[in-house]
Amino acid sequence: MLRFLVRRSLGAIVILLLISAFTFFLFFAAPRDPALLACGRNCGPDALAIIHKNMGLDQPVPVQYWHFMAGIFTGRDFAQGPCPAPCFGYSFATGDAVWNTIVDRFPITLSLTIGAAAVFLFVGLATGMLAAWKQGTLLDKLFSSASLVLSSMQIYFIGPIVLTLLVYNTNLLGQPKYVPITEDPVGWFMGLLIPWCVLSIIFTAQYTRMARSAMIEQLQEEHVRTARAKGMSAATVFFRYAWRGSLIPIVTIFGIDLGTLFGGAMITEVTFALPGLGTLSIESVLRTDLPTVMGVMLFAATFIILFNIIVDAAYALIDPRVRLA
Amino acid sequence: MTTLTKTEDAPVPAGPDPFLSVRDLHVRFSTEDGIVKAVDGLSFDLERGKTLGIVGESGSGKSVTNLAVLGLHNPKSAEITGEITLDGQELTGAREKTLEKLRGNKMAMIFQDALAALSPYYTVGRQIAEPFIKHTGASKREGRQRAIEMLTKVGIPQPNLRVDDYPHQFSGGMRQRAMIAMALVCNPALLIADEPTTALDVTVQAQILDLLKDLQQEFGSAIILITHDLGVVADTADDLLVMYAGRAVERGSVKEILTQPQHPYTWGLLSSMPRLSSDVNEALNPIPGAPPSLLDPPTGCAFHPRCGFVDQVGGASCTSERPPLALGRAAACHLNAEQKQTFFTEQIKPRLG
Amino acid sequence: MRRAQAAIVALTAGALALTACSSGAKQGAADDQSRKDAEKMRGQIAFADAAASKGPAAPIPGATPGGTIKVYQRDTYAHLDPAQLYVSDQGSLSTLLFRRLTAFNLDNKGKYNVVGDLATDSGQKSDGGKTWTYKLKDGVKFEDGKPITSTDLRHTFERQFADFITSGPTYVQRWLADSNSTAGYRKLLPGGPYGGKHLPKSVLDTPDDKTIVFHFKKPVGDLPYALALAGYGVVEKAKDTKEKYDKAPVASGPYKIQPGSFKNGKGITLVKNTQWDPNTDISRHQYADKFDIQFSVSYIDSTQRLMADNTDNQTAISFNNQVDAASLQRVANDPKIKARSTSGYQPYVGVMNFNMRRLKDKRIREAIAYAMPIQSVLDAYGTPGGGELAGSYISPTLTGYKNIDPYGKLKNPLGDVAKAKAILKKAGKLGMKLTYAHNTAVEPLKYSVAVADNLKKAGFDVQNKELPSDTYYDIIGKTDNQFDVYPSAWGADWPSALTVLPPVYDGRQIQDGGTNYALYNSPETNKEIDRISQETDPKKAAADWFTLGEKILKDDLPQIPTFYYKQVQLHGSKIGGAVNNNILSAIDPTKLYVKK
C-alpha cells in the first residue's frame, strides 16, 4: 500500500509538472496579450509596457514560469501584498489572490460533482441492476431506450428546459443556488437538486447501460451459478455475488469519467449561474488571466489525480485479487 | 444393480421409490438459430450411497441434465419437461423457494473449474459457511467453525488460517477440496460432481476421488459423477450411463460396460482412451467426425453419421429409426445382441490391448 | 474614447456602454419612445449652476423606502478602485458608491444635465477655458464619517498617475499634462503622489480645504462631462492602500459595500451608507435597504428569470444584463413582459471600415457603401430592439446629432446592388479583388453571408476572411493589414463627439493598435479636429463636430455606418423606478425602489 502511494504520488508530481509547463507555455504561444484587458480603453504600446511590468510579463517566459512554480511552494510577494504558499499569484483580471478564489469556489464544484456522482451512481446502478434483474421484460426495454435518449442529451439543452418547467412556470423548486452545507444543509440540498439531476442525466444513462451489461455478464459467471447451487436466494446471488463483480468495470469507467464529470460540472455551473471552479476556469480563459488559469488547472488536475488514486485503491477493496504495488 | 432399466420412451415406475428418479427429461433451449434439444428424453434412477457415472463427449447433455436436477437453468431460456423426483419430492416445476432450501442442503454440486466456480470476492471460509448458515440457521461464528471443520475434513493444512484466505490464494487442488468442502457442508444426500478432477494433475486427481469415496462412506450420499474420462469412473462409480446427443445410449454396471460394451459409441470412447499398457507409438483411435448439432440432430440413430457399423444393420433403420434403449443392461443400437458380442470381441477388444 | 475591444467583447459583449442611451420610460421598449427621449436629451445637457446642483433630489412619485433588490449581473466587477473604473457595469455600480466633482443627473421628467456632485456646481471656467475652479459642498463625507476635502480630491487626481492605475479614463490626466500619448502623461507625476511629490500649483491647485483648481495648457470645453466619469470618483487619502484599495474602497455615495461580501464570481452586497446626506446630492436616492448583487448570471439566464417574474424574481433586476437576442421577439410580443422592460441606445455606432491605403479610389468605396446590406447587419443583433439603422457616424444620443443619409442607406437598407455595379463599371473596376474580413462571433458570422453576397452581385471578386474574435481588433488595428473591408464599432464616453471623432478619424493617431481602423488621414480633417477640440462653447462645439462628421462621410467616406446599438432590459414586477439612463446606457440604479 505504501509503495503504491509513493509510486502514484511520484507519477502525479510528474504529470502535474507537465501540465503546468504545458499550460504555461501554451498560454504564451497564444496570440492574446493578457495586459490588453487591464489596459482599459487607453491602450498604446507605452501603456502596455507599464502593465507588462506590473504583471511581471516583461521577464522571459521561463523565468516567469520558474517564479510561478517556486511561488507555489515558497510563497511570493506582490504589490497587492504577500502571498503565502501555496501561492498561485494574483489574478490579472480581478486582482484577487488566486488561491483564495479557488478555496472560495471549490466547495461549489465539489458539492456539485459529489452530489451528481452520488445521483448518477445510485440511480444508474439501481436502474441498470433492475433492468438486468428484469432482463428482456418491458421494463428493461423501457430503461434501455430511455437511457439511449438521455445519453444523447446536452446539459445546456436540458438545463433551461428543467428550469422553465420546475422553476419559472410552476415554482415547484427554487432557483438553483449554492448555500454552504455548514450554513444550511437543507438549503444546500434544495439549491443543488436541479443541477445535480441535470448534470447526472447523461451519466445516469451511461451507468444504467453499463451496470445492466456488467450485471448480465456477471450473472453468467460460474461462481454466481455456484452461489445459486449453494441455495443462496436469488436476491443474495444478485446483490452479493453478481453485484460485487459488476462494480469493477463501473469503478474503472468512473475513474476515467472524473475528467468528463469536471467538464460537465463546468457547463452545469455556467447553465445555472453557480460560481464554482468551472465558471472560474471559463472566465479566466476568456480573460487571459494566466495565474487563475494555471491555478484552476493545477488544482483540478491534482484533484482528479488524487481521486484516481482513491479509485485505484478502491479496486483492492472490491477485488481481493488486486494488490496495490 | 442400482440402475433400473427400462425403455427410454416408456418409463415404468419402479417398485420402491429410488432416492433420485429422472423420467423422460427434456431440456430445450430457445436460441436465435432455433430450438436446441440438449436433453431429449432421459431417464435414470439413483439410490442412496451409490455412485452413478455419466460419461459422454462435450455437449452430450451430461451437465445440462444435472443442472436441471438442481433447477439451475434459467426458466426464461430453458424449457424443462419430464419428472425429477428427489426422495419422493417432485423437483420439476417446484417453486424457486423450495429448490433454494434443497440446494446446498439436500443436494449439492461440485463444479469442474474451482477457480471460476468460487467467488473471487469472498474468503473461502465465508463461502463454505454461507450455505451452512442459511440452511441450519447457525450463527456466523458457528458457520466459521463449521468451515474450519470442513476444511480439516477435506485435508487442507492449517485450516483455521486458510479459512480466511481468498480462493486465488489456494492451489488448484486445494481449491477443488474447498469446493468439495463447500458442497458437503450440509451433508447432502445427493452430490453431483461435474468433472471434479479434470483440471487437476493425476496425483491430485486420485486424492480427490479418494476423498469423495471416503466422504460418501461417511455420509452415505448418493453421487452422480459426470466425466468424459472412463478411467475416472472405473474406480469410483457403481453404475454407468453413456450419453450421446442428449440421450442415453448405453447403461449398465461399470464392470459390464467396461468389459462388455454394447454400443459402437461406447466402443469409440474406450478406443480413444490411452492405456498404460499400450505402446506409446501406437495411435489412439478417436471417434471420427464431430458431435452432431443439437439444433438439427441426425434422423434415426443420432450416432449413425459417425458409426462404422451402419452397413451391418439391414435396411435403413440406422438413418430412419431411433433405436430404443431396452430394459436393464442395455444399449440403444440396431445391431442385434450377437453382432454386438462378435464385433466387440473380434474388432474392438484387440485394439484396446 | 473607447473601442469595442474584442477580448472584452467576448466576455462583456455589449456591456461596455457608459453613455448615451435613451429612456423607454415607464412604457417599456418602444423604438419611437426611445428616439423621442434621445431627441429630448440632445441640446438639453446643460452645465448646471449651483442652484440646479443643490440637493436633495426630487422624490420619485410613489417611491417607498426599504426592501432588498436582487441584482443579476453577468460579470464580476473587475475593479472597485474608482480610478480603475471605466466600462458600463462598473459605471452603474459606481453611481451608487462613489461621488465625483460632477455628475450626470436625470430628473423625474427625463431631462439630463451635468450637475455639481461633490462640487457646488458643474465648474467655473476662466482664462478662455484653460482654468476650471470647483468648490466643495458642505456636509459631504466618506462612509467613515470623515469630511471630503480638497486634499482627498488632489489625491484622487494625483494617484491617477501611478503605474498601478491602468484601466481607467485618462482624459483629465492628458489635459493636465498636455499629452496626446496613452502613457506619456505619467511623466507629469511619475509613480503618483506616494513618494510625497505633488502636482505643482500651476497644474492642480488646492488653495483651501474646499477649493480645487485645474490649470490646462489648452482650452478644455468638456471638463464637466469628463469629471462625471466613474473613473474620477473620490478616493479617501488617509485610507488609500494603493493596489489593495481595489478590493476595499471607501464609499461616498448613498450605498457602501458590506465588508467581506465581495466574492469573485459570486456577488457583492451593498447596504445603506448612513454618512451620505441626501441634502448634498441632487442626482441620487436611497430607497432600497440593500442591493444583493449576484454575478455569473448570463444574459439568457437573467432574461429567463426576469421574464418568469416568479417569487424572488419579482424584486429582481439587472443593472447591465440585456435581454438576449433570441428573447427580444418574445419581450416585444408579450404585453405583460414588455411593460416590465426598458430600452435605450448604447453609445456604439457600427461601421464598415474601408482600408484607405488600399481602396484609394473613392468610387470603389462608394460602390461598396451602396451595396452594403445594413439591414442584414442589424438583423443579426436581434429584432426588435437590438439596434437601429444608422445614417451618420455620430450616435443619435450625442449633442448636435441630425438625421442624415447621404448614401440613401436608410431608404434602401438591403443595399442598392445595381447602383453599386454601375459605379464600379464606370470606374473600370468590375471584377476587382476585394478582401472582406470579419470576426467569428455569432453576429458577424450571421450577417457576413449577406454582405459578401451583395458585394459579389455588385461585381467584386470577394475574398471572405474570418478572423478569431479574441484578437480581431489587434489584427485589423495593424497599419499594414491586408484587408479592404472590415466591421468595427465605436462608442462615445459622454454625449460629445469629442470622444468619437478624434480617436477614429485623426490621421496623426494612426499606429499599430490604434483606433483609426480605416487608416484615414486627411490634413484638413486633422486641422478641424484640433480646432474644435479647443472650442469651449459646448453648443458650437457640438454643431461643428457634427458638420465635420458629415463632411468626412460625404467627401472622404472612410467608413459606412451600419447601425446604432441598442439594448432592452427587464425588471421584476415589484421593482419601481426602473428608468433607462442614457448616460449609463442601462437602468438607473439610484432611482430603484421595492414596491410595497
Contact A276, A108 (CB under 8 A): yes
Contact C88, C78 (CB under 8 A): no
Structurally, at CATH architecture level, domain C344-567 sits in Roll (3.10)
Is B117's CB within 8 Å of A225's CB? Answer: yes
User: From A233, which residue of chain B is nearest by alpha-carbon distance?
Assistant: B100
Is A275's CB within 8 Å of C296's CB? Answer: yes
By Cβ distance, the residue of B70, B117, B134 closest to A232 is B134
The answer, for B195 touching chain A at a CB cutoff of 8 Å, is no
The DSSP line for C115-180 is EESSBSSS-EEEGGGTEEEEEBPTT-B-TTSPBP-HHHHHHHHHGGGSTT--SS--HHHHHHHT--
Against chain B, the chains showing at least 3 CB pairs within 8 Å are A
List, in order, residues 6 or more apart from A175 with CB less than 8 Å away: A167, C305, C311, C312, C313
Supply the pLDDT for residue A1.
Answer: 74
What is the sign, positive or negative, of the torsion defined by CA atoms of A253, A257, A259, A262? negative
Supply the pLDDT for residue C400.
Answer: 80
Q: How far apart are CA C222 and CA C538, in angstroms?
A: 7
Supply the pLDDT for residue C582.
Answer: 83
The letter for the amino acid at C276 is W
In chain A, positions 227-286, which contact chain C (CB-CB < 8 Å)? 269-275, 279-280, 283, 286
Nearest-Cα distance to chain A for B190, in Å, is 12
The letter for the amino acid at B222 is A
> Which chain C residues are closer than 8 Å to A104 by Cβ?
263-264, 266
User: From A222, which residue of chain B is nearest by alpha-carbon distance?
Assistant: B117
Supply the pLDDT for residue C15.
Answer: 30
Could you say which DSSP state residue B325 is in? -
Q: How distant, in Å, are the alpha carbons of C45, C50, C435 from that of C121?
A: 14, 4, 52
Contact C222, C208 (CB under 8 A): no
Classify domain C42-290+573-594 at the CATH class level. alpha beta
Strand order in the sheet with C46-47: C46-47, C112-116, C102-106
Residues of chain C with pLDDT under 50: 1-30
**ipTM (interface predicted TM):** 0.82
The letter for the amino acid at A228 is R
C587 beta partners: C580
Q: How far apart are CA C366 and CA C559, in angstroms?
A: 10
Supply the pLDDT for residue B325.
Answer: 84
Supply the pLDDT for residue A205.
Answer: 86
Is C308's CB within 8 Å of A168's CB? Answer: yes
Q: Which three cell numbers stand for residue C106?
A: 436625470
Supply the pLDDT for residue B276.
Answer: 59
- Crossing angle (nearest 10°) for helices A98-133 and A138-151: 150
Q: How far apart are CA A227 and CA A240, in angstroms?
A: 10
Contact A301, A15 (CB under 8 A): yes
> Which chain A residues are closer than 8 Å to C243 by Cβ?
78-81, 95
Supply the pLDDT for residue B281.
Answer: 65
The answer, for C266 touching chain A at a CB cutoff of 8 Å, is yes
> Which chain A residues are closer than 8 Å to B72 by Cβ?
225, 228-229
Supply the pLDDT for residue B34.
Answer: 85
The answer, for A260 touching chain B at a CB cutoff of 8 Å, is no
Extents of the domains making up chain C: 42-290+573-594, 344-567
Helices (H), chain B: 62-70, 96-102, 114-117, 124-136, 140-153, 159-162, 172-184, 202-219, 230-236, 254-259, 264-271, 317-320, 337-343, 349-352
Q: How far apart are CA C158 and CA C233, in angstroms?
A: 13
Strand C255-257 relative to strand C211-215, pairing:
unpaired
* CA nearest to C76, candidates C266, C360, C357, C361: C266
Contact C169, C226 (CB under 8 A): yes
Supply the pLDDT for residue B129.
Answer: 93
Is A231's CB within 8 Å of B103's CB? Answer: yes
Q: How far apart are CA C33 and CA C234, in angstroms?
A: 35
The answer, for A54 touching chain C at a CB cutoff of 8 Å, is yes
Could you say which DSSP state residue B286 is in? P
In order along its 325 residues, chain A shows pLDDT tens digits of: 788 888 888 988 999 999 999 988 888 887 778 887 777 666 777 788 888 888 888 888 899 999 889 888 888 888 777 888 888 888 888 888 899 999 999 999 999 999 999 999 999 889 888 888 888 888 888 888 888 887 777 888 888 888 888 888 888 888 888 989 999 999 999 999 999 999 988 888 888 888 999 998 888 888 888 998 888 888 888 888 888 888 888 888 888 888 888 888 888 998 888 889 988 988 888 888 889 999 999 998 998 888 888 888 888 888 888 776 5
Q: Which three cell numbers stand for residue A13?
A: 508530481
Percent of chain B with pLDDT over 90: 20
Chains A–B, number of C-beta pairs less than 8 Å apart: 74
Q: What is the average pLDDT across B223-252?
A: 88
Strand C433-439 relative to strand C341-354, pairing:
unpaired
Q: Which three cell numbers stand for residue C545?
A: 463636430
Q: Which domains does chain A have, with CATH numbers?
A: 98-324 (1.10.3720.10)
pLDDT at residue B329 is higher than 70: yes
pLDDT at residue B212 is higher than 50: yes
> Which chain B residues are closer than 8 Å to A320 by Cβ?
120-121, 166, 168
Percent of chain B with pLDDT over 70: 91
- φ and ψ at residue A274, rounded to 5 degrees: -100, 120
Helices (H), C150-281: 150-158, 171-177, 223-227
Q: Pick the residue of B100, B101, B115, B121 with the most A CBs within 10 A to test the interface with A by mutation.
A: B121
Is A94's CB within 8 Å of C186's CB? Answer: no
Enter the pTM of the model. 0.79
> Is residue C114 classed as helix, strand or coil in its secondary structure?
strand
Supply the pLDDT for residue A82.
Answer: 85
* CA nearest to B68, candidates B34, B33, B41, B50: B41
By Cβ distance, the residue of A223, A224, A231 closest to B105 is A231
Q: What is the average pLDDT across B117-122?
A: 90
Is A231's CB within 8 Å of B111's CB? Answer: no
The letter for the amino acid at B16 is P
